[in-house]
């Protein structure tokens, strides 16, 4: 384990972690601003990975589409999603037509993937935060705690997998994608994610049963690690170690929040079905 790198990562987490926690608890425009920043930077970084492969994305339509989708999720108006997507594809085709260079066959799908995937994936955090109020007319403040269960579970999972894998790892998990990840570290990460969810439920979670918190922890401890592998797959294909150098010790936004791209939508779907099953 690289102690210097781990120390830098821990310091950055101690500085910015509380800001994320406060934004989740506050909700509203604070949470919207955080999610929007993550979405825009994620789309930008993915386009950078594509550029390393020789595919030039169409930045303007992609970034504006991503921003519009996040705002539509904040307003909880799914009727806006289809017009936004249709307008995006019309603009994208004209952009490709008049660019006059590059490969439209490669560049159009690259642009579309990031412009649609990241706002819907990270935007699920907005849906989670507003779920009680938007669907049931209830107080939405407890949903801030639900988000923190997922975030804390993933953070602790990542740390446990990194530290445990460094000292105990003997069997590689998926060396062609991430040569440093081990099966032992993965198992430890999952266990600690469940423990974290259990502790969070006893400490501050309201409006959820213990089994709900444990399901969120299990999603974070399992699918969260897959989210990291998916992003590693893109980076390895692009021949890049990090998606950017934006965050000292962590790399880019995608390096730090990749675990949430899959877990946030799945947690939202679980909570949505859970509430309607009550």
Beta bridge partners of 182: 172
Of all helices (H) and strands (E), which one includes residue 59? Answer: helix 59-74
Q: What pLDDT shows up at residue 166?
A: 74
* Residues 86-96 pLDDT 10s: 999 999 999 99
Report the largest interatomic distance among the alpha carbons of the chain, rounded to a whole angstrom. 59
Residues 142-155, mean pLDDT to the nearest whole number: 94
This model's pTM is above 0.85: yes
Q: Is 90 exposed, middle or buried (0-12, 13-18, 19+ CB in 10 A)?
A: exposed
Residues 149-168, mean pLDDT to the nearest whole number: 88
* Residues 239-276 pLDDT 10s: 998 888 877 666 789 988 988 999 999 999 999 888 77
Domains of the chain, by residue range, sit at 3-276
Q: How many CB atoms lie within 10 A of CB 276?
A: 9
Q: How far is CA 148 from CA 63, 204, 226, in A?
A: 27, 10, 20
Q: What pLDDT shows up at residue 242?
A: 84
């Amino acid at each position: 384990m690289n102690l210097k790198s781990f120390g830098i990562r821990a310091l950055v987490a101690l500085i910015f972690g509380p800001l994320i926690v406060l934004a989740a608890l506050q909700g509203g425009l604070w949470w919207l601003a955080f999610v929007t920043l993550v979405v825009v930077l994620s789309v930008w970084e993915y386009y950078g990975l594509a550029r390393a492969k020789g595919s030039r994305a169409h930045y303007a339509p992609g970034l504006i589409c991503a921003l519009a989708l996040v705002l539509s999720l904040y307003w909880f108006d799914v009727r806006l999603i289809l017009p936004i997507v249709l307008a995006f594809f019309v603009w994208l085709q004209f952009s490709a037509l008049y660019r006059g260079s590059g490969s439209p066959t490669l560049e159009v799908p690259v642009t579309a993937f990031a412009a649609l995937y990241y706002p819907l994936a990270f935007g699920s955090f907005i849906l989670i935060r507003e779920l009680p109020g938007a669907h049931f007319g209830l107080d939405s403040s407890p949903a801030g705690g639900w988000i923190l269960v997922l975030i804390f579970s993933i953070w602790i999972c990542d740390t446990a997998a990194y530290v445990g894998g460094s000292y105990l790892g003997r069997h590689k998990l998926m060396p062609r994608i991430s040569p440093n990840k081990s099966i032992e570290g993965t198992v430890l990460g999952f266990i600690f994610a469940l423990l974290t969810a259990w502790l969070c439920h006893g400490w501050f979670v309201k409006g959820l049963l213990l089994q709900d918190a444990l399901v969120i922890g299990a999603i974070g401890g399992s699918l969260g690690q897959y989210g990291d592998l998916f992003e590693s797959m893109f980076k390895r294909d692009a021949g890049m170690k990090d998606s950017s150098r934006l965050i000292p010790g962590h790399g880019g936004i995608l390096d730090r929040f990749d675990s949430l791209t899959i877990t946030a939508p799945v947690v939202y779907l679980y909570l949505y079905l859970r509430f309607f099953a009550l």
